[in-house]
Chain A
Amino acid sequence: MLSKRIIPCLDVRDGKLTKGVKFKGNIDIGDPVEVARRYYEQGADEIVFYDITASSEGRDIMIDVVKRVAETIFIPFSVGGGIRTLEDMRKVILAGAEKVSVNSGAVENPKIISEGAVAFGCQCVVLGMDVKKVNKSAKIPSGYEIVIQGGRKYMGIDALWWAREAENLGAGEVCLNSIDADGTLEGYELELTHLITTNVKIPVIASGGAGKKEHLRDVLTTAKADAALIASIVHYGTYTIAELKEFLSGNGVKMREAW
């Protein structure tokens, strides 16, 4: 039986973590490679890196980070943020990432999904979706709309339609981020997660809102997500990944127990 995955997300700018990460009994560490190693040792099932660098110099630094991560941890990891071209994808994959995540780049140019799937295989291409709840309408029948630029720009695209479209184009996985829930620490958007994961055949990673261990249980059971993305809940030392997994295992969620 397949285990549900727990996936810490690290935001990187100019090669450094943008939020401090505290491990119990340790001070903040700003090196993404070092933090990735710690999460790997603590039982993370996968790691997501999100590059929020603006400059091209910063992007080269990120490729160097990816290379060092690939020499350090031996679990899958994905890299997203600013991926717009096949060449962007190629650089990240050649540097050692298992998967590459496209978000606004795919909204602007959906062909990048199919081109990436042909060039590197479906399993490499993750569609990142930023979603906000809106009133249901003829244009947005699910009541969930695709947004970009951190939620500032509404794209007039229905989230459910887009997830299915991306699946047809060859995406291997969806990383579904609720902008409404993101940063609240009040729990994942369960309704949205359930809607998407039960209407596509590819795995769905739920993102945004994890603040308590019960939130992970709810999104992985009630909302049927295949994986849960986490950030603050582990970065600030509230729980270790091992503690979250132990709680989830005890609550009937199938977890990878040994690492």
Chain B
Amino acid sequence: MIAIVDYRAGNLTSVARALQYLNVPCVITDRAAELRGADRVIFPGVGAAGEAMRNLKEKRLTGCIRELFESGKPLLGICLGTQVIFEYSEEDNRTPCLGIIPGGVKRFPEGMTEKDDPLKIPHMGWNRVAFRRNHPLFAGIPGNAEFYFVHSYYPAPSEDSDIAGETDYGIRFASAVARRNLVAVQFHPEKSGRFGLQILENFSRWDGSHAQ
């Protein structure tokens, strides 16, 4: 059973629908006991970091998420869920976050260009991810696969070894991070067609062991 953390942050049902399509049993829950009892946990989210942290605190889930990581349970962060596992986010006047991965989340700088054209913010649409290592979650994904992004802030891990994949949008940023039993992606696998579904399917089989 996969538990999807419910902290009133957006795309919970679209993640659940993708898992249902893959015939992977899942439950959407905000109960710590149910999260602890699940085989795997997905930490999704769409929205702003400040509100997300407020909701997590209100539901008394901040300690639980850290504990899940420490316990070795396979964890998958998606979009905002990925951002709040860092130490802080620049969003909402610098929001202190969960601090599971060292580093912060920064706003795309103003004035980014590509071939002299200004780049839009949010970074919205399909883009490539250059996966850096042979992680079980990214097995079977071809090099030219693209994923759906929609965000104005990007993960900036302070330790290079945490970066699992990178994407170019004006700057090069970490679009996938991995540490032990945690993988966190800035894009939306549940909205990224066949290759996104492949990542979710890989996650449903992953035991959380180290990447090779």
Binding site for B on A (CB under 8 A): 1-5, 40, 45, 70-71, 74-76, 94, 96, 98, 120-124, 172-173, 198, 201-203, 224, 226-227, 256-259
Contacts and interface: CB of A to CB of B under 8 A. Distances in A.
B120 A201 contact: yes
Contacts of A123: 46, 122, 124, 150
Contact of B191 (A98, A172, A173, A258): A98
A228 to B, nearest CB: 12
A202 to B, nearest CB: 6
Nearest to A73: B193
Contacts of B17: 70-71, 96
Given A123-B122, A172-B124, 16 more contacts: A1-B127, A2-B123, A4-B125, A74-B21, A74-B191, A75-B148, A98-B14, A121-B48, A123-B46, A124-B46, A202-B121, A202-B122, A224-B117, A226-B124, A257-B146, A258-B142
- Residues of B contacting A: mostly: mixed
B124 A74 contact: no
Nearest to B149: A2
Contacts of A4: 125
B125 A74 contact: no
A45 B126 contact: yes
A203 B125 contact: yes
Closest 9 CB pairs of A and B: A3-B126, A256-B126, A123-B150, A256-B146, A258-B144, A203-B120, A121-B47, A259-B193, A2-B125
A96 B13 contact: yes
Interface string B13-44: 11001101100000000000000000000000
Interface in B56-100: none
A75 B125 contact: no
Contact of A122 (B122, B146, B168, B197): B122
A4 B191 CA distance: 16
B192 A74 contact: yes
Given A3-B146, A202-B120, A74 B196 contact: yes
Contact of A71 (B20, B146, B169): B20
A199 to B, nearest CB: 11
B145 interface: yes
B14 A70 contact: yes
A201 B123 CA distance: 11
Contacts of A40: 193
B145 A258 contact: yes
Interface of B: 10, 13-14, 17-18, 20-21, 46-48, 114, 117-128, 142, 144-146, 148, 150, 168-169, 190-197
Contacts of B192: 74-75
A50 to B, nearest CB: 20
A83 B148 CA distance: 25
B194 A45 contact: no
A120 B126 CA distance: 21
Contacts of B145: 258
Contact of A227 (B18, B119, B125): B125
Contacts of B114: 1
Given A3-B126, A70-B14, A201 B121 contact: yes
Nearest to B141: A258
A1 B168 CA distance: 5
6 contacts: A2-B123, A5-B125, A5-B126, A74-B190, A201-B121, A258-B195
A121 B124 contact: no
Contacts of B118: 198, 201
A227 B18 CA distance: 25
A4 B142 CA distance: 20
Contacts of B197: 74
Given A71-B21, A121-B47, A201-B121, A2 B193 contact: no
Given A1-B169, A96-B14, A74 B123 contact: no
